[in-house]
């Protein structure tokens, strides 16, 4: 979503003095460059939105999923070429989890918020053929939802349960849905609703810890429990203060390290930057931009993804993906950044940026 930043009129931000201003200058950023970009989505205007990664048995055969929120779902090869396109309608955000049992068949589950059918759209990815197809009975309609918008998946590995979190656009609500397969078709059961407060899209769940991160676009980045029995207790990781994050804040992605550690990435759309926080402490680490190099810079990014697993010789430590609002050839696409470049850039801490915990 594109919107002007504003002074957030909520009590928490008033008490902390946090306020984002139109045209505010955020904290300094490091610079990295994308190595390649995907083919542009077919949709015109505000079309590309959110990426995700499926890891193939041969990592070099892995796929990037990307939404064209006017037309359908793309699957890209790691060189940016189109592997497949599914004209399934207005899918907005997408996510992937492996190890889903469709009867006796194990598949990767991809799912997306479906604004055409007011539903969750689900897909299966076959590990051997790399084929992505709509799951049987895979359109799971909502009740009492106007506009499915933000979306992320959660695999509760302790109970082998899969959940989707979907926001209802302007309602400021996330719906948690249990996803399952009854032997013939996909099933969706609403578990709970989380009242975030105002418009929210970006979200990500850390499957290791069961923690859910939600970007309330003009307010701040929150942490919740993803457990189905949890309440709405939350912790503010960072407000949209015009320094660390400038509204709108959009995509959220997790870089896992060890059992509980890692980094949390957030798209600071209002100033074309990405902020990074420590997963365990919430401490601010640094900010960076994807600047012009072999391919053009990113701007006004919606969805992002971090995939911190080897993907062949080009990405031995993984990849960072960002939607680009305006490709230099026209249209919109997704940029791929070698994750090593980001780690190197952010490892040289500036003394005035490090250790600012929230």
pLDDT of amino acid 185: 97
Share of the chain above pLDDT 70, in %: 90
Task: List the CATH number of the domain containing 53.
Answer: 2.120.10.30
Q: How many other β-carbons are positioned within 10 Å of the β-carbon of residue 326?
A: 14
Instruction: Provide the mean pLDDT of the chain.
Output: 91
For residue 356, what pLDDT is reported?
A: 43
- The per-residue pLDDT for range 76-130, each reduced to its tens digit, is 999 999 999 999 999 999 999 999 999 999 999 999 999 999 999 999 999 999 9
Does 2 map to a domain?
Answer: no
pLDDT value of position 10: 35
pLDDT at 7: 36
Instruction: Tell me how far apart the alpha carbons of residues 243 and 342 are, in angstroms, rounded to a whole number.
Output: 20
User: pLDDT tens, 181-237?
Assistant: 999 999 999 999 999 999 999 999 999 999 999 999 999 999 999 999 999 999 999
Q: Is residue 355 part of a domain?
A: no
Indicate whether 264 belongs to any domain: yes
pLDDT for the residue numbered 329:
85
Residue closest to 305 by CA, chosen among 337, 273, 279: 337
Does a structural domain hold residue 352?
no
Question: What integer is the mean pLDDT of 257-268?
Answer: 97
Residue 1 lies in a domain: no
Beta-carbon contacts of residue 95 (< 8 Å; ≥ 6 apart): 52, 110, 111, 112, 151, 152, 153, 164
In a domain? residue 6: no
> Six-digit token pair at 78?
């790691």
* Distance from the Cα of residue 12 to its chain's centroid: 25
Whether the pLDDT of residue 1 is over 80: the answer is: no
**Entry field: residues in the chain:** 358
Model pTM score? 0.91
> Sign of torsion, CA 330 334 340 342?
positive
Q: State how far the Cα of 216 lies from the Cα of 200, in Å rounded to an integer.
A: 4
Model confidence pLDDT, tens digit, residues 233-255? 999 999 999 999 999 999 999 99
In this predicted structure, what is the pLDDT of residue 23?
40
Give the chain's domain count.
1
Pairing of strands 30-33, 284-291: parallel
- In which domain, by residue range, is 117 found? 11-347
Query: What pLDDT was estimated at residue 349?
Result: 58
| Confidence (pLDDT) at 12 | 35
The model's pLDDT over 43-69, given as tens digits with 9 standing for 90+, comes to: 999 999 999 999 999 999 999 999 999
What integer pLDDT is reported at residue 87 of this predicted model? 98
User: For residues 139-156, b (16+ Cβ closer than 10 Å) or e, as one string?
Assistant: bbebeebeebbbbbbbbb
Is the pLDDT score of 73 beyond 70?
A: yes
Task: State the number of CA atoms in the 13 A half-sphere of 296 facing the CB.
Answer: 16
Average pLDDT, stretch 299-312? 97
In a domain? residue 75: yes
Integer CA distances (angstroms), 152 to 99, 175, 255, 282, in order: 16, 11, 15, 20
């Amino acid at each position: 979503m594109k919107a002007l930043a504003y002074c957030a009129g909520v009590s928490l931000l008033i008490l902390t003095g946090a306020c984002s201003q139109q045209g505010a200058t955020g904290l300094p950023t490091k610079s990295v460059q994308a190595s390649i970009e995907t083919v542009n989505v077919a949709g015109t205007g505000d079309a590309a939105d959110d990426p995700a990664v499926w890891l193939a048995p041969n990592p070099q055969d892995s796929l990037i999923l990307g939404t064209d929120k006017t037309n359908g779902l793309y699957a890209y090869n790691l060189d940016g070429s189109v592997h497949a396109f599914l004209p399934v309608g207005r899918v907005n955000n997408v996510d992937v989890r492996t190890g889903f049992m469709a009867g006796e068949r194990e598949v990767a589950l991809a799912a997306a918020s479906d604004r055409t059918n007011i539903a969750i759209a689900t897909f299966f990815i076959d590990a051997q053929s790399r084929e992505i197809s709509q799951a049987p009975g895979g359109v799971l309609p909502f009740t009492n939802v106007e506009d499915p918008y933000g979306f992320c998946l959660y695999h509760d590995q302790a109970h082998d349960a899969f959940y989707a979190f979907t926001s209802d656009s302007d309602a400021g609500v996330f719906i948690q849905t249990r996803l399952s397969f009854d032997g013939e078709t996909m099933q969706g059961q609403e578990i709970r609703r989380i009242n975030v407060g105002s418009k929210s899209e970006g979200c990500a769940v850390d499957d290791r810890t069961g923690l859910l991160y939600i970007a309330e676009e003009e307010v701040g980045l929150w942490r919740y429990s993803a457990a189905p029995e949890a309440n709405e207790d939350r912790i503010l990781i960072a407000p949209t203060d015009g320094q660390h994050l400038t509204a709108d804040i959009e995509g959220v992605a997790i870089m896992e390290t060890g059992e509980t550690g890692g980094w949390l990435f957030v798209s600071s759309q209002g100033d074309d930057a990405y902020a990074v926080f420590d997963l365990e402490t919430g401490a601010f680490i640094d900010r960076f931009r994807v600047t012009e190099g072999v391919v053009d810079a990113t701007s006004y990014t919606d969805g992002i993804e971090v995939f911190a697993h080897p993907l062949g010789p080009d990405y031995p430590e993984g990849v960072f993906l960002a939607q680009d609002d305006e490709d230099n050839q026209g249209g919109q696409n997704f940029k791929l950044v070698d994750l090593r470049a980001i780690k190197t850039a952010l490892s040289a801490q500036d003394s005035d940026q490090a250790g600012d915990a929230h």
